[in-house]
Amino acid sequence: MSEFSVESSISDYRNGPEPDLEAAGRLFVERGFRGEASPFWNQTTWTERNATELLHRTFDNFDGGKGDFLSKLQGQLVGAEPDVIILAAELMALVQLPLCNVKATTKRDQINTILSWLDVEFVFPEELDRGLEAGGIFNGGQGYNSRKWHHFVWLARFVQRVRKEPAEVLEKALADPVAFGALTNTVDDQFPGVRFAIEYMVWPNYYEPVISQKHRKLLIEAYAWEIGGPSGSDQIAIAKDLAAIRRTHDFKAGHHVDWYAEPFVNDWLKKTSTKAGQRAWLVRQQQGNQQLLDVWLENNEVSLQASHLGPIEAGSALPAIQSAVESGYDHVDYAERKQLAHSFHRFLTLMGPNDVVFTRRGDELFVGMIDEEAFYLSDEPARFVCRVDWQLTELSANDVDSAILQTFDETGTVVDATAALAALTVLFSDATTKDPAPEAECPSSQDRDTHGEYLRDVEEPFAASLHIERDELQEVVELLRTRRQVVFYGPPGTGKTYLAGKLAKYLATEEHADHVKVVQFHPSYAYEDFFEGYRPAAAEHGQLGFSLEPGPLRRIAAEASAEGNRDKPFFLIIDEMNRGNLAKIFGELYFLLEYRDQSINLQYSPGSTFKLPPNLFIIGTMNTSDRSIAMIDAAIRRRFAFVELHPQEGMIEGLLDRFLEANGKPSLRADLLRALNLEIEGTNRDLMIGPSYFMGKHAESDIGLERIWRYELLPLLEEHYFGRYSREEVHKRFGLTSIRRKAEQLVSRSAADDVAGDGSDFSNEQGQL
């Protein structure tokens, strides 16, 4: 274990945790500072002329159209001198080197892509290769990765600044981390991520690999007491304080600590917003009679008018905001006050840094990324403001994914559009870079264009395990792909629930068997049980209160919508579906069953919207002996595809014969089932018995068959024929002895028909001969 002292010498600041990565970054910076030859070829590239030319091509001739960053850069560098192109490759190397969420091969490909535009020979330095293979030191996230243009512009300006400084200033910066920070501080940095990355690579044991300004401030808030308090609020002071905090903790731990690892992360990151994951928000730019977009673009912001609310704090809970709205907006209708409260709550509390925000003007879409939490401005008009980097402007609304456009159909000034986050992420990747996000820790899930992509085809071994023809099962999969909701209906014992469970788990795959949930309807089941409702809960001071709790549909919908799950199928199986009052249970959800691509406001959550995710499939079961499907609400019948499971038709016909043959068993049970159903057929088709009663181990013996008849089938038939046959008549007509006798007659008749058929064929053949 290395020994650390609280007081470190300048040389100690060179020894960072990733020496190969840091050495590669330092190689480009040190050669650039000293005016030495580029690591890529034998001439210097860090010149004022090259930096100015690169800025002219990328900044003055900014390309805000479609296309990825490298494609735009290639067009901007057409006709440029080789040293300008090589400088661009160096800047790409500095931008990409420290990222841990981009593969080494991807980083190398991007650098080589720029170098491929040269018509001169170049070399790829070994130091850079080793640095790329080191893997990276921080996860840039979408915020860092989508700002390559900003990073290039800052680095080019930094090169300009370096060339304006005398040699002694540059040497001092290479010999002293504070002097280096003073130099980087002279270049404006609206998005300082790349500045922090450069400072870290040159002085890795002084500057932190933390590129979030908010995280740096939180670290200071959590640990500044250990160094006697913060020394200032500017970047130089923050860096100095973080270095002192670093020395203290490294000394205590005896090694280089990781702020994002336990137990440190719990000390400081817990102070951040409680919102989970990146989200997307639609904020309408027309508020009242004002069009705000031009002001937003000019000031790099998004705002929400708050003329009567007052300076309530960002992060306030919904009740506090509702109270402020009730006081300040008592002149408007109560329904409008509720809508205002939810809009303010989203803007002040739920929106936050790294979230995507977008708006629309006419047929043009504008997309940006939030940089800071909301704050209050008392100017006229009073408003709340979030700083935004508007990265995509004047996009044609006709060319974007429908998931984005559908959010404009929802009510409210601020709309939670996280369901469209995947489609918005595609816009960012198209406009900046086509890099994949290959690492497991930073996936980029996208909603599928077609629902079928969620479900795999049925394979023969699975169909054989169920003793059902593959084509019959594949037909059900096709129905799920097109309708997303099916109902298995039929008489008892046809395996409706069994088949629903087996098929759902097969389509979800064994790895994700927990993506299948089962709920059973019954006469007292209600919307509050199925979707959401208020339930008793402990409140403050031991009082009993009520809290809004999600039901099984809302819970599984949330799982299916979660980041990382959006490309995986989820299944909700509703057993005994027709035993419940379906109109009462589904309520306004009827609409979503038919219009899956739209969202609705909810009766218990009017301030929020809900939509069924496209990767959630519903399989219901209905027992036709309980209630004919003809009696089912017509609205439900229109929204589900109905698949009959009947002992004498479709995929269940002959299933028991196939089961017995596959297991080497005699056909007696299949013969008994046929005889029983033929006897029932004349009275009620929906009362026929399914094969599952005869597929258990206990059905293989005569005693087992007696028990099945006595305790399962006859009581069921007594109920079905109540009022038509007496108990004695049911037992006489459908008892095992009677059905066995009829089964023997059927078998004998079938055998005789086969013999007669063979003879007839022979006679015909003889006659023909």
Q: Which residue has the tokens 């500045």?
A: 195
Range in 185-189, 486-490, 614-618 with the lowest mean pLDDT: 185-189
| Strand pairing class (641-644; 485-490) | parallel
Contacts by 109-112 with C-beta closer than 8 Å and gap 24+?
A: 110/70, 110/433, 110/435
Q: What is the pLDDT of residue 29?
A: 95
Q: What is the pLDDT of residue 271?
A: 41
Average pLDDT for 632-654? 84
* CB 597, CB 613: distance < 8 Å: no
Residues 181 and 216 in one domain: no
Higher-pLDDT residue of 618 and 146 is 618
**Is residue 135 pLDDT above 60, yes or no?**
yes
For residue 359, give every residue at least 6 positions away whose Cβ sits within 8 Å of its Cβ, in sequence order, or none: 282, 283, 284, 285, 293, 296, 302, 365, 366
**Is residue 578 pLDDT above 90, yes or no?**
no
Q: Is residue 769 part of a domain?
A: no
Residues 416 and 505 in one domain: no
Distance CA 131, CA 688 (A): 72
State the DSSP code for 419.
Answer: G
Q: Which of 208, 232, 261 is the last residue of a domain?
A: 208
For residue 722, give every residue at least 6 positions away whose Cβ sits within 8 Å of its Cβ, in sequence order, or none: none
Range in 184-188, 311-315, 351-355, 432-436 with the lowest mean pLDDT: 432-436
Structure token pair of residue 101:
């969420």
* CB 163, CB 47: distance < 8 Å: yes
Higher-pLDDT residue of 339 and 363 is 363
Q: What is the pLDDT of residue 68?
A: 76
Cis status of the peptide bond prior to 263, with omega within 30 of 0: yes
- What is the distance in angstroms between the CA of the first residue and the CA of the last residue of the chain? 101
Q: What is the pLDDT of residue 444?
A: 32
**Is residue 36 pLDDT above 80, yes or no?**
yes
- Structural element, H or E, at residue 384: strand 383-396
Q: What is the pLDDT of residues 664-701, one digit of tens each?
A: 999 899 889 888 888 887 667 777 888 989 988 888 88
**Is residue 272 pLDDT above 70, yes or no?**
no
Q: What is the pLDDT of residue 683?
A: 61
Distances (CA, A) of 273 to 209, 314, 316, 317, 347: 21, 10, 11, 12, 13
The length of the chain in residues reads 769
Residues 203 and 241 in one domain: no
Range in 167-171, 309-313, 438-442 with the lowest mean pLDDT: 438-442
Q: What is the pLDDT of residue 276?
A: 52
| Strand pairing class (356-361; 280-283) | parallel
Residue type, 296: W
Average pLDDT for 344-356? 88
Residue type, 37: A
* CB 160, CB 55: distance < 8 Å: yes
Q: Is residue 4 part of a domain?
A: no
Q: What is the pLDDT of residue 298?
A: 83
Which alpha helices (DSSP H) does 361-494 contain, by range? 402-406, 421-432, 460-466, 470-483
Residues 507 and 557 in one domain: yes
**Is residue 100 pLDDT above 60, yes or no?**
yes
**Is residue 264 pLDDT above 90, yes or no?**
no
Q: What is the pLDDT of residue 462?
A: 92
Q: 442 falls in which pLDDT band (50, 70, 90)?
A: very low
Q: Which of 394, 417, 439 is the last residue of a domain?
A: 439
**Is residue 57 pLDDT above 80, yes or no?**
yes
Domain span at residue 360?
A: 280-439
Main-chain phi, psi angles of 621, to 5 degrees: -130, 140
Residues 258 and 284 in one domain: no
| Strand pairing class (383-396; 375-377) | antiparallel
Residues 82 and 94 in one domain: yes
Residues 291 and 340 in one domain: yes
Average pLDDT for 358-386? 84
Residues 663 and 516 in one domain: no
Structure token pair of residue 530:
């199925």
Distance CA 502, CA 117 (A): 56
**CA quadruple 670, 672, 675, 676: dihedral positive or negative?**
negative
For residue 444, give every residue at least 6 positions away whose Cβ sits within 8 Å of its Cβ, in sequence order, or none: 422, 425, 429, 436, 437
**Is residue 433 pLDDT above 50, yes or no?**
no
**Is residue 202 pLDDT above 90, yes or no?**
yes
Higher-pLDDT residue of 426 and 95 is 95
**Is residue 446 pLDDT above 90, yes or no?**
no
Q: What is the pLDDT of residue 10?
A: 53
Distance CA 681, CA 647 (A): 11
Q: Which of 237, 255, 272 is the last residue of a domain?
A: 272
**Is residue 758 pLDDT above 60, yes or no?**
no
Distance CA 512, CA 584 (A): 32
Average pLDDT for 633-660? 85
* CB 342, CB 310: distance < 8 Å: no
Q: Is residue 353 part of a domain?
A: yes
Main-chain phi, psi angles of 496, to 5 degrees: -65, -50
Q: 48 falls in which pLDDT band (50, 70, 90)?
A: very high
Residues 534 and 610 in one domain: yes
Structure token pair of residue 416:
């939670």
Q: Is residue 2 part of a domain?
A: no
**Is residue 87 pLDDT above 90, yes or no?**
yes
- Model's pTM, two decimal places? 0.51
**Is residue 486 pLDDT above 90, yes or no?**
yes
* CB 170, CB 33: distance < 8 Å: yes
For residue 297, give every residue at least 6 positions away whose Cβ sits within 8 Å of its Cβ, in sequence order, or none: 366, 390, 393
Q: 64 falls in which pLDDT band (50, 70, 90)?
A: low
- Calculate Rg over the CA atoms of the chain: 35
Q: Is residue 690 part of a domain?
A: yes
Per the structure, the count of domains in the chain is 5
* CB 733, CB 725: distance < 8 Å: yes
Cis status of the peptide bond prior to 550, with omega within 30 of 0: no
Secondary structure class of 553 (helix, strand, coil): helix
Residues 262 and 377 in one domain: no
Q: 123 falls in which pLDDT band (50, 70, 90)?
A: very high
Residues 87 and 200 in one domain: yes
* CB 20, CB 133: distance < 8 Å: yes
Distances (CA, A) of 745 to 674, 691, 706, 714, 758: 12, 20, 20, 22, 20
Q: What is the pLDDT of residue 321?
A: 86
β-partners of residue 619 are 486, 573
Higher-pLDDT residue of 596 and 682 is 596
Structure token pair of residue 111:
């650098």
**Is residue 494 pLDDT above 80, yes or no?**
yes
Q: Is residue 675 part of a domain?
A: yes
Q: How many CA atoms lie within 13 A of 740 on its CB side?
A: 9
Distance CA 381, CA 469 (A): 69
* CB 454, CB 567: distance < 8 Å: yes
- Please name which of 356, 439, 428 lies closest in space to residue 392, comparing C-alpha atoms: 428
Q: Is residue 761 part of a domain?
A: no
Residues 411 and 547 in one domain: no
* CB 489, CB 645: distance < 8 Å: yes
Which among 309-323, 470-484, 560-574, 615-629 has the top mean pLDDT? 470-484
Q: What is the pLDDT of residue 12?
A: 58
Q: For helices 48-55 and 148-164, give the axis angle rounded to 10 degrees.
A: 150
Q: Is residue 767 part of a domain?
A: no
Q: 587 falls in which pLDDT band (50, 70, 90)?
A: confident
| Strand pairing class (301-305; 356-361) | unpaired
